[in-house]
Amino acid sequence: MDITEINIEGALEKMEAGEWTASEILEACLENIKEKEPDVQAFLEVWEEDAREQAKSVDERRAGGKPVGLLAGIPIAIKDNILVVDHLASGASKILEPYKAAYSATVVEKLLAEDAVLIGRTNCDEFACGGSTENSGFGPTHNPHEPTRVPGGSSGGSTAAVAAGMCLAALGSDTGGSIRQPASFCGVVGLKPTYGRVSRYGLMSMSSSLDQIGPVGKNVDDCARVLSVIEGKDDMDATSVNHPPTLVEAVAHGEDSKFLSELTIGVPKEYFETEGIDPEVAKKVKETIAGLEIRGATIKEISLEHTAHALATYYVLMPSEVSSNTARYDGVRYGLSKGENLDEVYVQTRTAGFGAEVKRRILLGTFALSEGYFDAYYKKSVAVAQAIRQDFMQAFDEVDVIVSPTSPVIAFKLGERIADPITMYLSDVYTVSANLAGIPAISVPCGEIDGLPVGIQFMTPHFHEDRLLHISSFIKN
């Protein structure tokens, strides 16, 4: 069995038909991990023994004719900022060492209730702060397509693991693009749901008003399946809401031309005029849009007026919330603790425990929230975020879907941008707006440049993941 070629639907069919067992699928993934992990380093920990037990239990129940869940026997990797009870959880930060989760995230409970096999925890930028996975406290992950390149971030371990066939799907988190940008760099599909569709309970908060957990898969159908399992209102997260469930069947086999001929796709003119966009990326994305037009979709140029301010807004709002959310890592409550008295504990623990990028964001955020600057920075950025959201709402009066590149560039070289935060932040230019507006967005592979994947991004109005998945299923990858 070549596990890199198999998707969730295929694996479930083979297991139902009795041709493969969950244990065999798991062993194929573990084999791949053994072979590729030295080059890729996608995982912080592989839960071999737990996973073997989960797979065995699924096999026994299947063999005994007992009912099994929707993801029975499917190996799924979990980004290491999502809690799994009694397992180490680090957020890829040294400050949490050796913290073990006291409870599981709701999404984890939901995966387990549908009999998914949890294969391990994946590397990421520290507390999800970054776009290359180089900000991990435990060393970078490498792009499986080309190990000298980054996998993107912050969910780079999750996207690299899926791309390398080390699991069939993974969970990531997306605050400003952390599922979609690494999905585009690794040539897999990554979806950020509408804010509120998926519970954040048990996700280490980065920027609570923007964070969402979402699926990473080899194809659109796999993402739909995982989303349909993890979504839903949760009493433990007051921002989660009730909504119509994701229609897996509708998107899985829905390549009907009627859908496309009734669809208007908006192309924001500002998104192709961005400084620093690789012309080859723009070309691939434009070709893909032209392909959709040939097949019947109506393409319309639109304007998202406040786009130019999206990055600046995000890079004020997000650090403000990061500075507040990271206050809990004080050397008293969790993980690492250094120093003799309270002041020393704060200073020494946080100095030794946090990496440079998290420290930078704490400083920026604390500044933006401080007296005298609050109105000029934080309050203003909240107002601009509102204007950005309004732009989208207006645009969606005219179009059903908005399209753009996921990232202005393909996977860059390890070390190339890490010393220059501004250049690093620029790679988030197309992804942050969906978080600020709260709308769902997806990245789907749409071609390659010199063997490295390019991603196209689609966005739809709040809670229209069905439309998002449906349009994405037309892009062949």
Q: Which residues are catalytic?
A: 79, 154, 178
Residue 178 CB, nearest approach to ligand GLN (Å): 3
Bridge partners, 264 (sequence order): 298
C-beta of 159: minimal distance to ligand GLN in Å?
12
Radius of gyration of the chain (CA): 21
Of 199 and 431, CB closest to ligand GLN: 431
Positive/negative CA dihedral, 115, 477, 267, 281: positive
Nearer to ligand GLN, 128 or 418 (CB): 128
Pick the closer one to ligand GLN by CB: 87 or 417.
Answer: 417
Pick between residue 150 and residue 399 the one whose CB is nearest to ligand GLN: 150
Query: Considering the complex, what minimum distance in angstroms separates the CB of residue 352 from ligand GLN?
Result: 22
Q: What is the distance between the alpha carbons of residues 103 and 177, in angstroms, rounded to a whole number?
A: 27
Give 130 or 408: the residue with its C-beta nearer to ligand GLN: 130
Residue 460 Cβ vs ligand GLN, minimum distance, rounded to whole Å: 19
Of 410, 465, 458, whose CA–CA distance to 292 is shortest?
458
Tell me how far, at minimum, the Cβ of 306 lies from ligand GLN, in Å: 19
As to burial, measured by CB atoms within 10 angstroms (0-12 exposed, 13-18 middle, 19+ buried), residue 371 is exposed
Residue nearer to ligand GLN on the CB measure, 400 or 428: 428
Q: Which residue is nearest to ligand GLN (CB)?
A: 178
Please write down the HEC assignment for all residues of the chain.
Answer: CCHHHCCHHHHHHHHHCCCCCHHHHHHHHHHHHHHHHHHHCCEEEECHHHHHHHHHHHHHHHHCCCCCCCCCCCEEEEECCECCCCCECCCCCHHHCCCECCCCCHHHHHHHHCCCEEEEEECCCHHHCCCCCCCCCCCCCCECCECCECCCCCCHHHHHHHHCCCCCEEEEEECCCCCHHHHHHHCCEEEECCCCCECCCCECCCCCCCCEEEEEECCHHHHHHHHHHHECCECCECCCCCCCCCCHHHHHCCCCHHHHHCCEEEEEHHHHCCCCCCHHHHHHHHHHHHHHHHCCCEEEEECCHHHHHHHHHHHHHHHHHHHHHHHHCCCCCCCCCCCCCHHHHHHHHHHHHCCHHHHHHHHHHHHHHCCCCCHHHHHHHHHHHHHHHHHHHHHHHHCCEEEEECCCCCCCECCCCCCCHHHHHHCCCCCHHHHHHCCCEEEEEEEEECCEEEEEEEECCCCCHHHHHHHHCCCCC
Instruction: In angstroms, give the least distance from the CB of 44 to ligand GLN.
Output: 17
In the complex with ligand GLN, which residue's Cβ is closer, 132 or 288? 132
Residue closer to ligand GLN by CB (options 71, 410) is 410
In angstroms, give the least distance from the CB of 322 to ligand GLN: 8
In the complex, the smallest distance separating the C-beta of residue 102 from ligand GLN, rounded to whole angstroms, is: 23
Q: How far is the CB of 397 from ligand GLN (least distance, A)?
A: 28
Nearest residue to 141 via CA among 33, 47, 214, 43: 43
What does the angle CA 102 – CA 104 – CA 109 come to, to the nearest 5 degrees?
A: 155
Q: Which is nearer to ligand GLN, 30 or 418 (CB)?
A: 418
- For ligand GLN, the binding residues (CB under 6 A) are 128-131, 154, 174-178, 206, 318, 428
Q: Burial, 215: exposed, middle or buried (Cβ in 10 Å; 0-12, 13-18, 19+)?
A: buried
